[in-house]
């Protein structure tokens, strides 16, 4: 039977341990050694870890002190975001040689729609392999890729054969692939949600598929529809090469500067609550959460994360904001914090329909 919704040829490219790999690229003496980008002091935070360090359990957002305890031989280096951005732009320029439909999620990952592409190659699988080979040949960095009929499955697939690998999920493989998948592997199901699903006997995609839409909406709110659809291979979000910068936000300036992330959680909780009220009043949802930080010397910094689905839930916005806060060490004491939600539902301009196609199951990626 044919799909009754448009399916596309989507590639998700995810750089392998990007920040750490860049440091090992630029400093050969660090290659093959456990490396953390970030601070190793008591207040330091790991922004990224090499695969050598991950073998010891070192992960991003972990405190530097704990990381050092888990891996005594761990080497810390300061982040160089200008260098990461420089290489990210070079990687992106490679993407644009294959398609104009490129949607970056961060410096180290992006979606590409190659349903129709500039090189005339009908195989998204071969395009992904060629892009990965070029990134390594031209820049010395390794990437993994996921290829499938929509963004959600491509994102999940890119993690299957990491590092330096790729996974293609063809149309006829989508449902069996999702049914066997551990629920923790579903992009958008965080630790707290996974624990909640366990309580309802949901451990795999097949378990999730067995729950009705009414059940999922009752217990997971607005995310219920998302879970109901994606486990059936339905995710119609298009690759957006341009976004309208319309957003909702809330922020707070403090009477005394804050010097530790620990003291900021309570403030972010109140800010997220205020933003949630504005979101409810506007009856909208968004995909991109941005944390705004103004330091005591009045310099400004923003950190963003784009989710594969629309969110409006206060707790999810707060959890993501905290993740962004611990993404890298603070540059100074902080006088202002803000959270904004952008990439809002209804604010995106739709792309032309001819970028997607309705096809039979024999459609090959």
Each of the 365 residues of the chain gets a pLDDT tens digit; together they read 345 566 799 999 999 999 999 999 999 999 999 999 988 776 788 989 999 999 999 998 888 999 999 999 999 999 998 999 999 999 999 999 999 999 998 889 999 999 999 999 999 999 999 999 999 999 999 999 999 999 999 999 999 999 999 999 999 999 999 999 999 999 888 888 999 999 999 999 999 999 999 999 999 998 999 999 999 999 988 998 854 446 899 999 898 899 888 889 889 999 999 999 888 888 788 999 999 999 988 888 999 999 988 999 999 999 999 999 998 888 889 999 999 999 888 654 433 334 444 344 445 78
Q: What is the pTM of this model?
A: 0.68
pLDDT at 139 (0 to 100)? 97
pLDDT at 168 (0 to 100)? 98
**What is the Cβ-side half-sphere exposure of residue 88, based on CA atoms within 13 angstroms?**
18
pLDDT at 6 (0 to 100)? 66
Residue 52 bears catalytic tag: no
pLDDT at 3 (0 to 100)? 53
pLDDT at 251 (0 to 100)? 92
Alpha-carbon gap, residue 199 to 60, rounded angstroms: 28
pLDDT at 240 (0 to 100)? 86
- 23, 103, 109, 238: the active-site residue: 109
| Cβ-Cβ contacts under 8 Å for 20 (sequence gap 6 or more) | 35, 36, 37, 48, 49, 50, 51, 53
Domains of the chain in sequence order: 10-17+82-173 (3.30.70.270), 18-80 (3.40.1170.60), 174-239 (1.10.150.20), 247-344 (3.30.1490.100)
Vertex 190: Cα angle to 307 and 201 (nearest 5): 130
DSSP H or E stretch at residue 152: helix 151-157
Alpha-carbon gap, residue 265 to 322, rounded angstroms: 7
Burial class (CB in 10 A: 0-12, 13-18, 19+), 255: exposed
Which of 229, 220, 239 shows the shortest CA–CA distance to 175?
Answer: 229
pLDDT at 40 (0 to 100)? 75
Q: CA separation (Å) from 186 to 149, 197, 231?
A: 16, 12, 9
């Amino acid at each position: 039977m044919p799909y009754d919704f448009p399916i596309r040829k989507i590639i998700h490219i995810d750089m392998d341990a990007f920040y750490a790999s860049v440091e090992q690229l630029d400093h050969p003496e660090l290659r093959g050694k456990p490396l953390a980008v970030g601070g190793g002091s008591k207040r330091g935070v790991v922004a990224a870890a090499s695969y050598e360090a991950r073998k010891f359990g070192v992960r991003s957002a972990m405190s530097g002190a704990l990381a050092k305890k888990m891996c005594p031989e761990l080497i810390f280096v300061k982040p160089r975001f200008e260098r990461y951005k420089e290489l990210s732009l070079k990687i992106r320029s490679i993407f644009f040689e294959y398609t104009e439909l490129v949607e970056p999620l961060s410096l180290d990952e992006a979606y590409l729609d190659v349903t129709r592409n500039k090189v005339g190659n009908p195989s998204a699988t071969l395009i992904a392999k060629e892009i990965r080979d070029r990134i390594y040949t031209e820049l010395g960095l390794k990437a993994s890729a996921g290829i499938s009929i929509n963004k959600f499955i491509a994102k999940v697939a890119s993690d299957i054969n990491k590092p330096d690998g790729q996974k293609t999920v063809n149309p006829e493989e989508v449902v069996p692939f999702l049914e066997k998948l551990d629920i923790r592997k579903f992009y958008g199901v965080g630790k707290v949600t996974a624990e909640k699903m366990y309580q309802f006997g949901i451990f795999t995609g097949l378990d999730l598929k067995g729950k009705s839409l009414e059940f999922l909406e009752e217990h997971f709110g607005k995310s219920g529809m998302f879970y109901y659809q994606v486990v059936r291979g339905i995710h119609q979000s298009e690759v957006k090469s341009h976004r309208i910068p319309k957003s909702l936000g809330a922020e707070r300036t403090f009477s005394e500067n804050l010097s530790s992330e620990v003291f900021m959680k309570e403030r972010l909780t109140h800010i997220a609550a205020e933003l949630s009220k504005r979101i409810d009043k506007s009856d909208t949802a968004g995909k991109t959460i941005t944390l705004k930080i103004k330091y005591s010397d009045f310099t400004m910094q923003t950190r963003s994360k784009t989710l594969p689905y629309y969110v409006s839930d206060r707790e999810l916005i707060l959890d993501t904001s905290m993740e962004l806060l611990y993404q890298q060490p603070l540059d100074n004491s902080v006088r202002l914090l803000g959270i904004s939600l952008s990439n809002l539902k209804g604010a995106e301009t739709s792309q032309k329909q001819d970028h997607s196609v309705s096809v039979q199951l024999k459609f090959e990626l």
